Amino acid sequence: MNGTKDFLEAVANRSGCLDTYGVLRRLITKSQIAILMYHRVGPKTDNWSLAPISLENFEKQIEYLQRNFEIISLHDLAQRMKKGKSFHTKAVSITFDDGYRDNYLYAYPVLKKHQIRADIFLTTGHVDSDILFWWDKVRYIIQQSKTNYLSLNELGNYSLQSELDKYKASLIIPNKLKKLSEVNKLRWIEVLPKICDVTIPPDLGKQLTMSWNEIREMSNNGITFGAHTVNHPILTNMSFECAKWEITQSKKTIEEKIGKPVTSFSYPNGNYNAELSKFVKEAGFDCAVSVFPSRLIVAKDDIYTLSRIGITGNFDEFKAMLCGLWEVIVEFRNKEYYRK
């Protein structure tokens, strides 16, 4: 069993093998369509906010895509899928979630330089705002905590004595918060500063998200904007009525601000159900994206639950993800884990 795992990992680290695997896969599946998901690009400036991919790694990835793939917008991808058109070449769509300002400062100049289209999904309640994304807020509180130990009942118990302890807690606690109802999640986020004896500077989120002026500039230069709710709740953890408002209001706001139709939607954290995907279609979107399961897509997939691949800065992993081998490795690892 371990020998097979070692073999897969060895293959994933050899570019020639990855290219061969990609060719063979396309011969069998007749298509290879990847929707890539980024969040942040640029220098790391603190120890608490969502970690970015370096500018150097991002440009290396973009140059590789330009040489080896047909890069298309989500709208064009969805239209092809609706019409049942096959993809004769390797196709890829580039997407970003949330609306961090480094998308404008660092990713946008690279995309513009290479004349590449991309889709950015905006959490509209944070645009032109100093409001921190809730996960960044939680990580800041934990990193700045003046207590050495946290006892958080349903969220677990944590030592915060070392920087490593804080780092681990800052990864685990947000993931546990994602599993709670939206009301309970917000309640915990509200009391965490007091529990950790942390005061959050009022301007901490300043310059962290894009402005509408920056968004309009990008919109006029090859970047398409989609909706990603108003407040980034996990839609399956709240009432359907509240979820509908989050979806429609984010669409409405973007359309009013940029003067263009919004045709794509991204489920926060990738969470959706049949009721939500049906509503997204009824709300006038042409397509919607998730992250579950994280894999390449084929022409017959549901355009309202399209899978994306979360991208890291590791170039070998990047190539393994694009050729489809990475999903095989991940699936194998998961099966091996559950056998233990």
Q: Are residues 218 and 278 in the same domain?
A: yes
Work out the average pLDDT over 164-179. Answer: 97
310, 35 contact by CB (below 8 A): no
Q: Are residues 243 and 326 in the same domain?
A: yes
Q: Are residues 168 and 270 in the same domain?
A: no
What letter would DSSP give residue 259?
S
Domain end call among 149, 167, 196: 196
User: Has residue 166 been placed in a domain?
Assistant: yes
Q: How many residues does the chain have?
A: 340
Q: Are residues 51 and 106 in the same domain?
A: yes
Instruction: Supply the pLDDT for residue 26.
Output: 58
Q: Are residues 148 and 272 in the same domain?
A: no
Of 88 and 282, the structure prediction assigns the larger pLDDT to 282
> Which is nearest to 57 in space by CA: 326, 319, 337, 338?
319
Work out the average pLDDT over 160-185. Answer: 97
Q: Are residues 238 and 94 in the same domain?
A: yes
Of 17 and 290, the structure prediction assigns the larger pLDDT to 290
Query: pLDDT at residue 339 above 70?
Result: no
Instruction: Supply the pLDDT for residue 337.
Output: 40
User: Has residue 120 been placed in a domain?
Assistant: yes
The SS3 assignment for 225 reads strand
Instruction: Supply the pLDDT for residue 4.
Output: 42
Query: pLDDT at residue 321 above 90?
Result: no
What are 251's two structure tokens?
A: 């669409």
Q: Are residues 93 and 231 in the same domain?
A: yes
pTM listed for this prediction: 0.90
What are 262's two structure tokens?
A: 């919004």
Side chain identity at residue 77, one-letter code = L
Query: pLDDT at residue 3 above 50?
Result: no
Q: Are residues 257 and 117 in the same domain?
A: yes
Range of the structural domain that residue 187 is part of:
134-196
Least confident of 71-80, 189-198, 254-263, 292-301: 292-301
Q: Are residues 176 and 298 in the same domain?
A: no
What percentage of the chain reaches a pLDDT higher than 70? 85
Q: Are residues 139 and 234 in the same domain?
A: no
Domain end call among 171, 196, 221: 196
Q: Are residues 215 and 102 in the same domain?
A: yes
Sorted by sequence, the CB contacts under 8 Å of residue 277 that are 6+ apart come out as 288, 302, 304, 305
Instruction: Supply the pLDDT for residue 32.
Output: 72
Domain end call among 156, 172, 196: 196
> Which is nearest to 298 in space by CA: 36, 71, 84, 22?
84
User: Has residue 184 been placed in a domain?
Assistant: yes
Instruction: Supply the pLDDT for residue 15.
Output: 52
Q: Are residues 181 and 314 in the same domain?
A: no
What percentage of the chain reaches a pLDDT higher than 90? 74
* Domain tally, the chain: 2
Measured CA to CA in angstroms, residue 56 lies from 48, 74, 318 at distances of 22, 25, 14
